[in-house]
Amino acid sequence: MNIIALFMTLILGLSLPAEAAPPMEGLTEMYADACLELWERDSGLNQKVELLAFDFTDCNTLDQIQQQLLMESIGEQLDLEVREGTFEQLFEEGLIVCPDPENQPHWCEFPTGLLISLEDARQEDGSITFTLGKWRTPLGAYWLGEYVLSDPALADATANTMAFATLTFCQLFHAFDVRSERQSIAHIGLTSNPAMNKAFLVGMALQLAVLLTPPLMSVFKVCALNAVEWLVVLGLSLTPLIVCEMEKAIRRAKR
């Protein structure tokens, strides 16, 4: 009997690690909820998506079985095909493509899918921090801030700050070219609408205060940008104005 009892104890003891699965199931469920929340954000990226690819390269808390369960759960809830793959793998397989490699070699896109990246780390106190991202195209300011210009430690903050600044400045500049569907800004005159100019200056001052004043920077969760990043923001912000002015010029030329 003692031998049998010892044998059963060993079996139960060896099976204990498998019984420790519930906390990890809770973690997997938490990641699944976060992925669904990410899906809802910036929903324009989701149009005509047929495939979700998951990049677990920097995921350190889920094993392969849990990663597979996570993908299957998301795929079932969204009724989409799922698979694992990095950007490089998807590019080699022709799923991520560069439509114009000669003129725009750095512009790639995922025409039929989204790439979901999960990066996490377990802290000394036992807590887990993680970040999620979804990618389909470079997305202008966010991509530049995330991967090209910023310090990796400040990547998310820089990307969000550049996107925030670009969207706001873009609308302020765009207000000048929507004053007429055909006439150029030069023809109308930049100073011909004093009220709008005052509103522009007030909006610009408020935005700069948020981006440059430490107390407001803390409230709005933005960070300081370097000179190159400011030039990128300015260039992207002026793009809609330039495109609209070109479109007006083409219209006038056709008349």
Residue 197 exposed, middle or buried by CB count within 10 Å (0-12, 13-18, 19+)? middle
Q: Residue 49 pLDDT > 50, yes or no?
A: yes
Closest CA to 69 of 34, 36, 20, 32: 32
**Domain assignment present for 203:** yes
pLDDT for position 181: 77
3-class SS at 45? Answer: helix
pLDDT band at 41 (very low <50, low <70, confident <90, very high): confident
Q: Check whether residue 75 and residue 166 sit in a common domain.
A: no
Strand partners for 246: none
**Domain assignment present for 65:** yes
- Eight-state DSSP code of residue 154: G
Average pLDDT over every residue of 91-106: 84
**Domain assignment present for 10:** no
Q: How far apart are CA 157 and CA 208, in angstroms?
A: 17
Who has greater pLDDT, 146 or 155? 155
Of 87, 112, 138, the position where a domain reaches its end is 138
**Domain assignment present for 96:** yes
Q: Check whether residue 246 and residue 180 sit in a common domain.
A: yes
> Per mean pLDDT, which range of 43-47, 103-107, 166-170, 192-196 is the poorest?
103-107
**Domain assignment present for 159:** yes
Q: Check whether residue 46 and residue 71 sit in a common domain.
A: yes
Strand partners for 122: 128
**Domain assignment present for 54:** yes
Q: Check whether residue 165 and residue 125 sit in a common domain.
A: no
Of 83, 103, 138, the position where a domain reaches its end is 138
**Domain assignment present for 3:** no
The answer to whether 28 and 69 are in contact (CB under 8 A) is: yes
Domain around 220: 154-254
Of 113, 138, 163, the position where a domain reaches its end is 138
Q: What is the pLDDT of residues 84-96, one digit of tens each?
A: 999 999 999 999 9
Vertex 233, ends 223 and 129: CA angle to 5°? 40
**Domain assignment present for 14:** no
Q: What is the pLDDT of residues 109-140, one digit of tens each?
A: 888 999 999 888 877 767 778 888 888 876 53
3-class SS at 22? Answer: helix
pLDDT for position 160: 85
Q: How many domains does the chain have?
A: 2
* DSSP codes of every residue in 50-108: -EEEEE-TT--S--HHHHHHHHHHHHHHHT-EEEE--HHHHHHTTSSB-S-TTT-TT--
Q: Check whether residue 134 and residue 179 sit in a common domain.
A: no
Q: Which helix (H) or strand (E) holds 122?
A: strand 113-122
Tell me the whole-structure pTM to 2 decimals.
0.47
pLDDT for position 77: 94
